[in-house]
Amino acid sequence: MKDNKGNPLRLSSLNHISLVCKSVEESADFYQNVLGFVPVRRPGSFDFDGAWLFGHGIGIHLLQSDDPEKMPKKTVINPKDNHISFQCENMAMVEKKLVEMGIDLVRQRVEEGGVHVEQLFFHDPDGFMIEICNCDNIPMIPLAGEVVHSCSRINLQPQQIHLPVVQP
């Protein structure tokens, strides 16, 4: 265990988050048309309603609530609430589009050492908090050791693969 202290389970990545919904159809529409996720096939052996979506390197599994009327509805947008965050390149464009879609949001700005991070917070149809930010502006710095670069810039850089050219 000592050899693997920083990653004792040897995890490789986040695979998906799972969200219980009042309406799988309404939530799937939101995640597709607002956040750009695409539907993917889910196992046919499941005996409950749901949908799987994929985008931005993560899966979202939507599960139909057994009792949608009893699900609490969050109306106050609280940036300190549980949420998932997505990195973007153009905060002004994202905010403009969200406003055009009629989505209520809260804007925040974080400053660290002269670096500014813009954040937009809003709810999905079931009140789950979504954040969109340019958080990549602030490097990930472990409390001990060397700098860890933001994973979004490392993982999203296009990789060129050079294949040998075969002459006919």
Q: Report, as residue numbers or ranges, the catalytic residues.
A: 131
Cβ neighbours around 56 below 10 Å, total: 15
The one-letter amino acid code at 144 reads A
Query: Please, are residues 131 and 79 in contact by the beta-carbon 8 Å criterion?
Result: yes
Query: Please, are residues 31 and 60 in contact by the beta-carbon 8 Å criterion?
Result: yes
Pick the closest to residue 139 from 157, 119, 114 (CA basis).
Answer: 114
Structure tokens at 25: 């159809």
